[in-house]
Amino acid sequence: MSNLIIVESPKKVETIKRYLKGDYEVIASMGHLRDLPKSKIGVDIEHDFKPEYCDIKGKEKTISEIKKKAKKADNIYLAADPDREGEAISWHLANILDLDLNDNNRITFNEITKSGIEAGIKTPRTIDINKVNAQQARRILDRIVGYKLSPFLWKKVRRGLSAGRVQSAAVRMIVDRENEIKNFVSKEYWSIDAKFCPEGSRKSFDASLATVDGKKFEADNYISVDELVERLKSAEFYVANIKKSVRKKTPQAPFTTSTLQQDASKRLGFQTTRTMRTAQELYEGVDIKGLGLVGLITYMRTDSLRISDEARDAAHKFIEERFGKDYIPMQPKMFKTRGNAQDAHEAIRPTIPSLTPDEVKQSGVTNDQYKLYKLIWERFIASQMENCLLNTVNVEIEADGCIFKASGHTVKFDGFTVIYDDSSKDDAKKILPEMTKGEKLNLRSLTGNQHFTQPPARYTEGTLVKAFEENGIGRPSTYASTIKTILDRNYVEREGKQIKPTILGEVITNLMLEYFNRIVDLKFTARMENDLDDVEEGKKEWTKTLSSFYKDFDKSLSTAEDLMEGKRIKIPDEQTDHICEKCGKPMVIKIGKFGKFLACSGFPECTNTKKIIIETDGICPFCGKKVLEKKSKRGKKYFGCEDNPKCEFMTWDIPTAEKCPDCGSTLFQKGGKKGKLICHKPGCEYEKDLSNE
CB 135 within 8 A of CB 536: no
Alpha helices (H) in 366-516, listed in sequence order = 367-383, 425-428, 461-471, 476-488, 503-515
Nearest CA among 657, 626, 650 for reference residue 667: 657
Q: What is the Cα–Cα distance from 631 to 21, expressed in whole angstroms?
A: 48
Q: What is the Cα–Cα distance from 628 to 24, expressed in whole angstroms?
A: 54
Region of 314 on the Ramachandran plot (φ > 0 left; ψ -120 to 50 alpha; else beta):
alpha
Amino acid in the structure at residue 559: T
Q: What is the Cα–Cα distance from 81 to 79, expressed in whole angstroms?
A: 7
Q: Render 614-664 in DSSP notation, one character per residue.
A: EEEEEE-TTTSSEEEEEE-TTS-EEEEETTTTTS--EESSEEEEEE-TTT-
> What's the farthest any 2 CA atoms get from each other in the chain?
96
Alpha-carbon distances of 306 from 186, 298, 412, rounded to whole Å:
44, 12, 30
Alpha-carbon distances of 195 from 230, 435, 441, rounded to whole Å:
16, 15, 10
Specify the 3-state DSSP secondary structure of 575.
strand
CB 190 within 8 A of CB 226: no
Q: What is the Cα–Cα distance from 626 to 269, expressed in whole angstroms?
A: 27
Bridge partners (DSSP) of residue 394 are 243, 407
Alpha helices (H) in 256-328, listed in sequence order = 257-263, 272-284, 309-323
Q: What is the Cα–Cα distance from 244 to 506, expressed in whole angstroms?
A: 53
Q: What is the Cα–Cα distance from 501 to 487, expressed in whole angstroms?
A: 9
Is 299 catalytic? The answer is yes
Residue 303 CB: number of other CB atoms within 10 A?
A: 21
Alpha-carbon distances of 635 from 171, 194, 487, 631, rounded to whole Å:
20, 50, 11, 5
The residue from 299, 327, 370, 479 that is catalytic is 299
Which of the residues are catalytic?
Answer: 299
